[in-house]
Amino acid sequence: MVWFLLVLAGLFETGWAVGLKYTHGFTRLWPSLGTIAAMAVSFALLAQAMKILPVGTAYAVWTGIGTAGAVIAGIVLFHEAVSLPRCLFLGMILGGIAGLKWLS
């Protein structure tokens, strides 16, 4: 269950990272409120996961999911560049997340 909470926290991190793009510097009300809500949920879920998981593992997995999700969302939503090196490094991030889960 704790890993589910952590993955969910990472997905909400992706949501608020992408949401920042839509806030236009927090000048748009609804995207700003949605982004702030996603931040709050993400941090709350991370805090719950950290009650059980080691801090380093939980934080690394949380940021890794958020980073990978933001890269994928940038490609899909904002038509950011897709290149072999970018995909390889994304794979390394995902591999690191899997490795930390395996070791915990």
List the pLDDT tens digit at each of the 104 positions of the chain: 999 999 999 999 999 999 999 999 999 999 999 999 999 999 999 999 999 999 999 999 999 999 999 999 999 999 999 999 999 999 999 999 888 888 87
Domains identified in the chain, total number: 1
Side-chain-facing half-sphere of 94: CA atoms under 13 Å: 11
Side-chain-facing half-sphere of 28: CA atoms under 13 Å: 11
Domain span at 77: 2-103
Contact call for residues 86 and 71 (beta carbons, < 8 A): yes
The whole-angstrom separation of Cα 61 and Cα 11 is: 11
Contact call for residues 8 and 60 (beta carbons, < 8 A): no
pLDDT at 10: 97
